[in-house]
Structure 1
């Protein structure tokens, strides 16, 4: 399958009063046409910074892309001018942000906010744009769309506002849709509806999706592949089956061990000890080593390369070296892996319900 996006050795820093924060350190991945790639990790791992860089939404200053390439259909977006990016944002690459109230203009009718992109990028006459706006609102499941198109954001519920944000993102049939934790602020029922909506729309439009989340329960239901991020780096990447049934990085083990399954209500959740490193002074060696009970001596002095597990699965851990001791995931993680295989489903860690 053809790649629509390739991120190569991306490095991003933020200049602060305390010094240079090395937020993204050598991130590389690709996105195929019609694929959903989930990026997971704790808060501060670099998920949102990575994807905002794709749309060139990193505020500068203080942020700056130090090096690397972001190839969209073969064109390097890092070298694109702001005017070129204005023609790409919304038209080819759209973003759904976490909080719809910060994404919507409270002083504008929702119809006008959707029509903006249609008029600018699609060059539609206003009458045609309004008709298309109603169709988009119906597509995302907003009831009485023709009547509500002239209402303001405060007149809608949280779930409805998120549907409006999805409609705005979809207005120009983007080739890549970046969903930055779009369901975190919603209750579990609305969350499931929005996720189902995105999957349905992807089938109809064949768009590619980058889905950012900290919730592995969401990942299992929406993604084709998963990239696990820690301390500004991708530490493991593979298909959903690779990550849930055959995880190799101790950090991935920790994430899986901290989430419940449908198989048992009484099993103990295992928290990852410690906290992420200070990116003002990234640690030498493997950044996860201080929190990793399975860390080797080499982890303290040398950063592990990305080892190949299979054609679809890679992980950056010295445990995959041919001379490393044979260490298996903790029992808590094995139980979850068995639970995933037995039930074929997962429930979200926050809500304790099937997502």
Structure 2
């Protein structure tokens, strides 16, 4: 499939009273047409800052894109003016935010929030935009859209508000849809409905999706490829099958080990000991070294380069160096068994 987005060596920092926070450090990934790429990791790993930087939504100052490029169909968004980005947002890229109740304007009817993008970007009349707004609400599964379009956000349930956010994001037929934790505030049943809706809409609209989440269960059901972030860096990336069945990075092992399992009778979930690094003073070496039970001296001193396990899987870990000791991943998370470097 055609590559439509390419993020190269993106670094983003924020100035604070206590120093510069290096929130995103040298991040690279790409996105293809009709593909869903999941970016996963703990809170504070840099997921949301990465996608907000792609959309140029971080406040500057205190935020700043220090280096790197974001190529959308070959054009670098980092070099675009704010006026140019206003045309790209909505037309080329849409975003679904984490909490629809705080993202939707409580003083505006749902219909106006959907149609203002149609009027601005596609130069539609109010009447035609209203008709398309009704179609969009119907598309995302909201019953009685002719009535609902004239209601306020507080008159919608949580799941319906998220559907309305999706309708707004899709209103101008963007090529890329960014979903930042789209199911966090919803109960399990509604989460499944929203994820199924996104998959159905992707087929109908040929939209590529970047899905931000900390829930690996969501990833398993929704994504084609996965990028695992930790400490502002992508530590591993690969297909869903590679990340779930052949993970190579100890942090990925920890994430998989913390997932609840239906065949596990123990009541206590596994956790990763320790805390994420302070990105005001990030470690020189692997960001996960301080929490990694397999860390070696070199892990603290030098950042590992990516090792390619396949054409689609890359992992930044010193354990994959041919000189490293052989280490077995925990059997509870590694379906194939065997050693990771040999």
Q: Report the TM-score, using the length of structure 2 for normalisation.
A: 0.97
Partner in structure 2 of residue 298 of structure 1? 298
Cα distance per residue 1:6-65 (max 9 Å; x no partner): 000001000000011011110000001110000000000000000001100010110000
Cα distance per residue 1:168-193 (max 9 Å; x no partner): 00101110000000000000000000
d(CA) in 1 for partners of 2:197, 2:265: 29
Question: How many Å apart are 1:147 and its aligned residue?
Answer: 1.1
Partner in structure 1 of residue 264 of structure 2? 264
d(CA) in 1 for partners of 2:148, 2:289: 53
Question: How many Å apart are 1:331 and its aligned residue?
Answer: 3.2
Question: How many Å apart are 1:263 and its aligned residue?
Answer: 3.1
Partner in structure 1 of residue 285 of structure 2? 285
Partner in structure 1 of residue 14 of structure 2? 14
Question: How many Å apart are 1:283 and its aligned residue?
Answer: 1.1
Contact 2:36 2:209 in 1 (8 A): yes
Partner in structure 2 of residue 341 of structure 1? none
Partner in structure 1 of residue 340 of structure 2? none
Question: How many Å apart are 1:122 and its aligned residue?
Answer: 1.1
d(CA) in 1 for partners of 2:184, 2:314: 28
d(CA) in 2 for partners of 1:74, 1:271: 41
Partner in structure 1 of residue 74 of structure 2? 74
Partner in structure 2 of residue 162 of structure 1? 162
d(CA) in 2 for partners of 1:265, 1:142: 39
Contact 2:245 2:333 in 1 (8 A): no
Alignment pair present for 1:191 and 2:191:
yes
d(CA) in 1 for partners of 2:40, 2:263: 23
Secondary structure of the corresponding residue to residue 24 of structure 2: strand
Contact 2:36 2:208 in 1 (8 A): yes
Question: How many Å apart are 1:265 and its aligned residue?
Answer: 3.9
d(CA) in 2 for partners of 1:227, 1:148: 37
Question: How many Å apart are 1:267 and its aligned residue?
Answer: 7.1
How well do the aligned residues superpose, as a CA RMSD in angstroms?
1.2
Partner in structure 2 of residue 210 of structure 1? 210
Q: What does 1:132-151 align with in structure 2 at a 5 Å threshold?
A: 132-151=132-151
Secondary structure of the corresponding residue to residue 89 of structure 1: helix
Contact 1:270 1:332 in 2 (8 A): no
Contact 1:92 1:173 in 2 (8 A): yes
Contact 1:36 1:225 in 2 (8 A): yes
Partner in structure 2 of residue 112 of structure 1? 112
d(CA) in 2 for partners of 1:227, 1:263: 27
Which aligned segments of 4 or more residues in structure 1 are displaced greater than 2 angstroms? 261-269, 331-334
Partner in structure 2 of residue 127 of structure 1? 127
Partner in structure 2 of residue 172 of structure 1? 172
Partner in structure 2 of residue 249 of structure 1? 249
d(CA) in 2 for partners of 1:119, 1:307: 48
Secondary structure of the corresponding residue to residue 332 of structure 1: coil
Question: How many Å apart are 1:261 and its aligned residue?
Answer: 2.4
Question: How many Å apart are 1:148 and its aligned residue?
Answer: 1.4
d(CA) in 1 for partners of 2:148, 2:313: 47
Question: How many Å apart are 1:284 and its aligned residue?
Answer: 1.8
Alignment pair present for 1:311 and 2:311:
yes
Secondary structure of the corresponding residue to residue 91 of structure 2: coil
d(CA) in 1 for partners of 2:262, 2:87: 45
Partner in structure 2 of residue 92 of structure 1? 92
Q: Which ranges in structure 2 are unaligned for 5 or more consecutive residues?
A: 337-342
Question: How many Å apart are 1:333 and its aligned residue?
Answer: 2.3
Number of matched pairs: 337
In structure 2, relative to structure 1, the CA distance for the partners of 1:178 and 1:213 (3 Å cut) is same
d(CA) in 1 for partners of 2:266, 2:149: 47
Secondary structure of the corresponding residue to residue 333 of structure 1: coil
In structure 2, relative to structure 1, the CA distance for the partners of 1:312 and 1:267 (3 Å cut) is farther
